[in-house]
Amino acid sequence: MKLTNEERANDLTPLLQNGWAHDPDRDAISKTYEFKNFIEAFGFMTRTAIWAEKYKHHPEWSNVWNKVDVTLTTHDHDGLTELDIKMGRKMDSLAG
């Protein structure tokens, strides 16, 4: 189920304040993580992949050397859901 206005205010706002950007056309959030090198970036992606499998919610992402670009949205619901909030929080914690 898509986030309500109240959930957006309470749950999405902290992510936006932590560097995530909202794309209202897609109702998605995105962020670029930057690491010291490729190994650290790839390690972050590996740790995230384990949680994505646990949550059964997978990010759209790409990696170029030390950067990982991420977009989160729930395709089944055509927009942001609590899964995206949960995954965004987890990714921020995994990135350190």
CA 65 – CA 87 distance, rounded (Å): 23
Q: What is the pTM of this model?
A: 0.93
CATH of 5-95, one of 3.40.50.720, 3.30.1360.20, 3.90.79.10, 3.30.505.50: 3.30.1360.20
SS3 13: helix
pLDDT in tens, 4-51: 999 999 999 999 999 999 999 999 999 999 999 999 999 999 999 999
CA 31 – CA 58 distance, rounded (Å): 15
Predicted local distance difference test score (pLDDT) of residue 96: 87
> CA distances (Å), 24 to each of 46, 82, 83, in order?
29, 16, 17
Model confidence band, residue 89 (pLDDT cutoffs 50, 70, 90): very high
Q: Where are the domains of the chain?
A: 5-95
